[in-house]
Amino acid sequence: MGKRQHAPEAGRGESLLDLSHLRRETRTALELAVVGLAPSDLVDRLAWAAGLLEAIAELPPDSPPVLALLPRLAVRTRSALAEWNAWQEKLLRKAKA
């Protein structure tokens, strides 16, 4: 019988699929932030998150670096995405006015 590998959860019940979606959402937000000339601090936060999510995607999910980085990374990524969504919403409201 082969050894079955379970995917570790990241932080609060996040699966590897959740992290894959988070990585894609962050990359898209970063691209839109760059094109939309978002504030540099916001672009930097999104770039940091996107870069680390890409880097850990290449590592085994149960490796020490992934296990150490993932909880804080998930929280900081969601914070950056929330800031991006608020900035984008504000921009869209101004465009409609």
Q: What is the pTM of this model?
A: 0.81
Q: Cα angle vertex 71, ends 43, 40, to 5°?
A: 10
Q: What is the pLDDT of residue 16?
A: 80
The tens place of each residue's pLDDT in the chain, 97 residues long, gives 333 333 344 444 567 888 899 999 999 999 999 999 999 999 999 999 999 999 999 999 889 999 999 999 999 999 999 999 999 999 989 888 8
User: Where in the chain does DSSP place strands (E)?
Assistant: none
Residue corresponding to tokens 């680390």: 52
State the SS3 of 32-52. Answer: HHHHCCCCHHHHHHHHHHHHH
Looking at residue 60, the DSSP 8-state letter turns out to be: -
What are the tens digits of pLDDT across the range 73-92? Answer: 999 999 999 999 999 999 98
CB 19 within 8 A of CB 53: yes
* CA 52 to each of CA 39, 49, 72, 87, 94: distance values in angstroms, whole numbers, following the listed order: 20, 5, 11, 22, 33
